Amino acid sequence: MSTHSERTRAAVRCENCDAILVAEIERDGSVRPLGTSVDCVCGDGTFTRIE
């Protein structure tokens, strides 16, 4: 089971539609957008973390 300490929150940009979302970044690097489905609102799901 994952705990909050194993995740960080960050702004991410969808590589397909350029939408900016807040997401949880898992320890393994996987991205889970908050407030939407597992993928972006456009249905893609490939994200780049905004530094």
pLDDT tens across 3-48, in order? 556 889 999 999 999 999 999 999 998 999 998 767 888 888 899 9
Residue 49: the pLDDT is 93
If you ran DSSP here, which 8-state letter would residue 38 be given? S
Is the predicted pLDDT of residue 2 greater than 90, yes or no? no
Single-letter residue type at 11: A
Where are the chain's structural domains?
A: 4-49
Residue 40, helix vs strand vs coil: coil
Can you tell me the distance from the alpha carbon of 44 to that of 23, in angstroms, rounded to the nearest whole number? Answer: 15
Residue 3: the pLDDT is 53
- Say what the pTM is: 0.76
Residue 26: the pLDDT is 92
